[in-house]
Amino acid sequence: MNDARSEGLVQGLAQGETRVTLVICLLIDDGKPDLIERIAMDKDFREQLYKEYHID
């Protein structure tokens, strides 16, 4: 794998991790920590929450 592609992959993974962490923090702040397990297991639900919380 070339360096540019590797760097892009690393940046993409970091961005995804940041999005998940942000939605987890927002769920905790909203008193919904029970939904954390669901976002870990359900990609469609996770995407729905990204839209709901306006997370790009």
Tokens 């359900």 appear where? 42
Q: Is-contact 28 47, C-beta < 8 A?
A: no
Structure-derived torsion over alpha carbons of residues 35, 50, 25, 29, reported in degrees to the nearest 10: -70
Q: What is the pLDDT of residue 2?
A: 79
Domain range for 18 is 3-52
pLDDT (tens, 9 = 90+) of the chain, 56 residues, equals 678 877 777 776 778 788 999 999 999 999 999 999 999 999 999 999 999 999 98
pTM: 0.77
User: Rounded to whole angstroms, how far apart are CA atoms 54 and 8?
Assistant: 23
Q: What is the pLDDT of residue 1?
A: 63
Give the total number of structural domains in the chain: 1
